[in-house]
Structure 1
Amino acid sequence: MLLQGVVFLAVHLGVTAAGPLSKRAAPTVTLDSATVTGSTSGSVSQFLGIPFAQPPVGNLRFQLPQTLPAYNQSFDATAFGPACPQQAITLPIPPGLASETIDYITNSIYQVITPSSEDCLSLNVYTPANAAPDSKLPVVVWIFGGGFELGGPSIYGGGTIVNRALDLNEPVVYVSINYRVTAFGFLASQEVKDAGVGNLGLQDQREALRWVQKYIGAFGGDPTKVTIWGESAGAISVALQMVTNGGNTEGLFRGGFMESGSPIPVGDITHGQPYYDAIVNQTGCSTASDTLDCLRGVPYDTLMDAVNNSPFIFSYQSLILAWLPRVDGVFLTEDPQILVQQGSVADIPFINGDCDDEGTLFSLSTTNVTTDDQLEEYLQTYWLPDASSDIIDELMQYYPDDITQGSPFNTSILNALTPQFKRIAAFQGDAVFQAPRRFFLQQRSGLQSTWSFLSKRLKDVPFLGSFHASDILDVYGPSDMTDYLINFVTNLDPNGATGISWPQYTTAAPNLMTFMDGLPSLEITQDTYREAAMTYLTNVTLQYPI
């Protein structure tokens, strides 16, 4: 029943945004010389599908986002714009996985977003219905997740956040932005590096934040009080927005809120060359003198078919993604973790947390790995091809063949889908999520205000436990996490009139606000679990980035 209730919640998170409209005059805002008409539901007005950059089509495919000219034609903003092109996804369903777990995954968190189009650079604004240009309300900008391969802002309606903020008497403006994903946003190769067009999805986000600075005042927002917030790839994006440009935010945001994502260890953009070459070959561009320019002219369906042949987040290589941010020399001048060590970090307050069992969802595709030898081969082939066998052996010791120590954590001998499943899940969750989070916080402790959390809710979900993205259901619930978010957006401090006191994270006291099922539902714990394993893992990934 718990899981069924969660599914219902996940599927209906956008109800506030899509509910019946109250009988009142449609809200309007003026952008340059254009009148933009939205809609109102209850106490919230919404303006959907507003373009923030020129369509990245034709010659603008695989180019940096181009600023829009001034708005000079009025339009309706009552429907979401299309998602950016989505990578086709096939979810592995290993034997023994409970049917309700399969239904949950396919129908909620990782549903494919449709419709989609290359002409997709739009954003959405939700405001209190009584907001005016002089309201000067704090602004929260949501960056969606999806492994940099899929996703869109329409999954979650901002009405839930704005309504709860009104209940707390801390009104905010909510913005959700679109950005290019998969190869359209993260094409990687020497050719891409030479052209200076890497990390286009991150550049799209930056352009959207510039739009917010220019126009959010018309909706009642204060451009000096912007917090960027994301989950998974969205949280990693927040972190990368913090470390780019020498840590200079350009005044685009004053706070960061990250759920399951931190500065991750990634290598040079040329690491993506095999995926680029495969697309070039499959689209008939291999004989072109300029293969990148050739790809700009390939018919969309042909290009999409080639992209869909590349590995995706639930492929066998899992979190070793084909398409993700990489060091391009422009947006990212170094491995993000090296940038953190160099102090290239925005000097802003931030919150950064994880779910307890981050790796379980991504370990469903490796259930054929059932022995120690097979796991060693998997780690050597996909994760650490340049590392010595001694390093692989030591990692195996830190993540032992003991199902009572695997993930879902603290579930004893339960949830062992295969002999190696919980072990792989523990490793993957730490490598991509837990260890980078702890590294980031420890590096910045004492230099800026930081808080951290751990979500142990939904622990009883079979085989997945407190899985990656389960905390989204909390914050869009709404719940206590929603309140902490709104407090932070308003005051740059998560503490307010509700919930228990959330102390800052320091190296001396690595406090975690821990969200749990049952009572107590909140508790302060310490970020000391798997300490030796994560320290070693961080050192290895710093030496051998993805």
Structure 2
Amino acid sequence: MLAYIAGVLLSIGGLPSAGAVDPLVTLDYSSYRGTARSTGVTEWLGIRFAAPPLGELRWRAPQAPLQNDTVIDAVAHGPICLSTPGTPNDPTTSEDCLFLDVYAPSSASASTKLPVYLFIQGGGFNVDSNPNYNGTGLIQAADMNIIVVNFNYRVGLYGFLASQEVIDNGDTNVGLLDQRMVMQWVQTYITLFGGDPSHVVLGGDSAGGASLLLHLTAYGGQDDGLFQAAAAESATFGNMLNVSESQYQYDAVVERVGCGYDKVQDTLGCLRSLNVSYLQANNYNIPYPNGGPEAGAPIYMYQPTIDGGFITDYSYRLLQKGSFVKVPVIFGDDTNGGTIFTPKNTSTYTEMDQFLVDQFNAMTANQIDIMNAMYPPAETYPDSGALWRTVSNAYGEMRYMCPSQAVGSAYSEYSVAGTWIYRYNVMDPTQMEEGYGVPHTVEINAIWGPYNVAPGAAPASYYPGQSNAGIIPVIQGYWTSFIRSYDPNTYRVAGSPEWVQWTAWAKDRLVFQTNATAMEVVDYGQQARCAYLQSIGILTQQ
């Protein structure tokens, strides 16, 4: 599949000689006119990187973008990909959504060969939750010495539907193949914007961070030279099924939209023929088939699938075997990564256990009993159940905190490249008061800068003059240093502590905290809990 995508991009013609000093960039399938801003950054928004994945191209690998001989004003972001659960008529979304944005210093040219930061947004693989972030803040923090690329990819029903029918007449994990297509696009075209295709650093948060690991382990850890380092924020280790285990999702969809086996012979062809608004109206999550009468639907149902191709095994097993690309990596998480996901009314261990099994359907009664013992009642908050923070602690460590430490340990064991782990502990007064603590992916607002993420997304304390404004240059210093040199220490802000590498025996990580960023050793309680959760990671299908 990778060879196919590479061939598609390389077969559509030779590249003209051009540079990003001119906002008009001529690709061999279309020309895009960007905008040079007074910030010193030129931006190209809404560049199509693949053909519209419509009709017969639903649930197939991305195809080459169509030829368009007109000059396109690249002044608007492309529409966001459709999510699951579905909203039938959201004007900001579309099935035709495979677009990317490029941000480059206006002084860059085809000869500058600047490092490239290629960012993969999160959203649980069911929504594009970080679209349209502006790369200007990162470029400025990097002394105008990097290029930033971000993009949309297919998610949910459209990105991760898996069944025997899809295997027979389509492709699995097409959302990941979209991401791979962008990596190939960067290899082919980024020199025209001033970038260096041999110096690409992947970034990503949540499912984007999980995507980084899936590309590091893709095809059993095959290195195709598409990137040279990776920095993951709050990477998720979700429940991963194989194709046969995913069949129930497909069967449920075809029945509810009238494409069932008793009605049509080609059920997948029937799905491809349906109006997308009708599909979206019927696009929702259902419980796992073994969940029992009390089961609820998982937060994120459609997930990357073990298909024997792109994904050959569970992430934990691939890490144990050393089956991953050996490049420098950053992985880390927020102190309270589970709080935004768990039911605030959780009051009993029975309710906590049901939530965990709803997300990880392979968990056994014995594993649940051990989880209950490991996570005693925690602090309580008004308008919340007595065990909300307890289930949040369990879910946060199982899905986020402990897996990232496992990545660090595997990389420190198998790789000669650098390995850095962090804990983000910047406390926003409002989030603390509401009981969310330092929640999942909040660090993304500091890395990009509060003005460069979605309007209103960043905590109020992150803005200039507020209590946590000082963390912005600190974390941007480490991140842009890593992008530029594969080491977060090279260009870190003066006065920032050295970020010591992680090892499985020392367990040193950097704690980001306003005016108190420092190294720490993981406390023994979390070490013990993570040791258990990592030991059952394959059994819990992570």
Q: What band does the TM-score fall into relative to the shorter chain?
A: 0.7 to 0.9
Q: Judge conservation of contact 1:61–1:296 (CA < 8 Å) in 2.
A: yes
Tell me if 1:30 matches 2:26.
yes
Counterpart of 1:431 (choices 378, 382, 398) is 398
Verify: 1:284 aligned to 2:258, yes or no.
yes
Quick one: distance in 2 between partners of 1:60 and 1:133? 34
**Residue 162 of structure 2 is aligned to residue 183 of structure 1:** no
Q: Which secondary structure state, in structure 2, belongs to the residue aligned with residue 239 of structure 1?
A: helix
1:293-341 alpha-carbon deviations (Å, 9 max, x no partner): 21111111111111146589xxx95765211112122210111221222
2:120 pairs, out of 133, 139, 143, with 143
Q: TM-score, normalised by structure 1?
A: 0.83
CA distance in 2, matches of 1:277, 1:215: 41
For residue 288 of structure 1, report the CA deviation from its aligned partner. 1.9
> What is aligned with 1:74?
71
> What is aligned with 2:8?
none
- TM-score by length of structure 2 reads 0.83
Structure 1 residue 492 corresponds to structure 2 residue 492: no
Task: Say which SS state the counterpart of residue 258 (structure 1) adopts.
Answer: strand
Say if 1:416 and 1:422, in contact at 8 Å, map to a contact too: no
- Which of 377, 391, 410 aligns to 2:367? It is 391
Structure 2 CA distance, aligned partners of 1:229 and 1:374? 35
Task: Give the aligned partner of residue 453 of structure 1.
Answer: 422
Indicate yes or no: 2:378 matched with 1:403.
yes
Q: Counterparts of 2:492 and 2:280 in 1: how far apart (Å)?
A: 49
Query: 1:470 is paired with a residue of what secondary structure?
Result: coil
- Rounded Cα–Cα distance in structure 2 between residues aligned with 1:33 and 1:155: 23
Q: CA deviation at 1:89?
A: 7.6
Say whether residues 1:50 and 2:26 are aligned partners.
Answer: no
Deviation for aligned residue 1:537: 1.7
Residue in 1 that maps onto 2:534: 538
Q: Residue type of the partner of 1:375?
A: M
SS in 2 for 1:119: coil
Percent identity between matched residues is 32
Which of residues 117, 120, 135 in structure 2 aligns to 1:158?
135
Q: Tell me if 1:304 matches 2:301.
A: no
Q: Residue 3 of structure 1 corresponds to which residue in structure 2?
A: none
Q: Secondary structure at the match of 1:209?
A: helix
Q: Secondary structure at the match of 1:180?
A: coil
Tell me the residue number matched to 1:19.
none
Structure with bigger helix share is: 1
Query: Which sits farther off after the overlay, 459-468 or 528-537?
Result: 528-537
Q: Secondary structure at the match of 2:358?
A: helix
Change (3 A) 1:415 1:185: same
**Matching of residues 342-361 of structure 1 within 5 Å:** 342-361=321-340
Cα 1:537–1:40 shift into 2, 3 Å: same
8 Å contact from structure 1 (residues 272, 322) kept in 2: no
CA displacement at 1:137 relative to structure 2: 0.3
Report how far residue 160 of structure 1 moved: 1.4
Letter in 2 for 1:420: L
Q: Which runs of 5+ in 2 are unaligned?
A: 1-20, 289-294, 450-471
User: What RMSD in Å do the two structures reach over aligned CA positions?
Assistant: 2.5
Looking at structure 2, the residues matched to 52 and 175 of structure 1 have their Cα atoms a distance apart, in angstroms, of 12
Amino acid corresponding to residue 145 of structure 2 in structure 1: P
Letter in 1 for 2:532: Y
Q: Which moved more, 1:425-434 or 1:414-423?
A: 414-423
Q: In the alignment, is the contact (CA less than 8 A) between 1:39 and 1:47 conserved in 2? A: yes
Contact 2:347 2:385 (C-alpha < 8 Å) held by counterparts? yes
Aligned-partner Cα distance in 1 for 2:126–2:239 = 18
Structure 1 equivalent of residue 456 of structure 2: none
1:289 partner amino acid: Q
Please give the alpha-carbon distance, in whole angstroms, between the structure 1 residues aligned to 2:29 and 2:202.
28
Q: Deviations over 1:348-394 (max 9, x none)?
A: 0000010000000001xx34432223333444x42454444222211
Identify the residue that residue 506 of structure 1 maps to in structure 2. 503
Maintained 8 Å contact 1:361/1:468: yes
Paired AA for residue 426 in structure 2: R
Equivalent residue pairs, number? 481
Q: What CA distance in whole angstroms lies between the structure 2 residues aligned with 1:79 and 1:309?
A: 32
Bigger shift: residues 290-299 or 213-222: 290-299
2:229 pairs with 1:260: no
Counterpart selection for 1:294 from 260, 267, 270: 270
Which of 471, 478, 482 is equivalent to 2:476? Answer: 482
- After superposition, the Cα gap between the structure-2 partners of 1:432 and 1:269, relative to the gap in structure 1 and judged at 3 Å, is farther
SS at match of 2:443: helix
Partner amino acid, structure 2, of 1:132:
S
**Secondary structure, aligned partner of 2:537:** helix
Residue 324 in 1 paired to residue 319 in 2?
A: no
Secondary structure of 1:307 counterpart: coil
Separation (CA, whole Å) in 2 of partners of 1:235 and 1:176: 14
Contact 1:239–1:263 (8 Å) recurs in 2: no
When residues 114 and 173 of structure 1 are mapped into structure 2, their CA distance, relative to the original with a 3 A threshold, is: farther
* Deviation per residue, 1:468-491 (Å, 9 max, x gap): 021111111243111111100110
For residues 489 and 376 of structure 1, do their structure 2 counterparts lie closer, same or farther at Cα, with a shift above 3 Å needed? closer
Deviation at residue 459 of structure 1 after TM alignment: 5.2
Structure 1 residue 278 displacement after superposition: 2.0
| CA contact 1:83–1:152 (8 Å) conserved in 2 | no
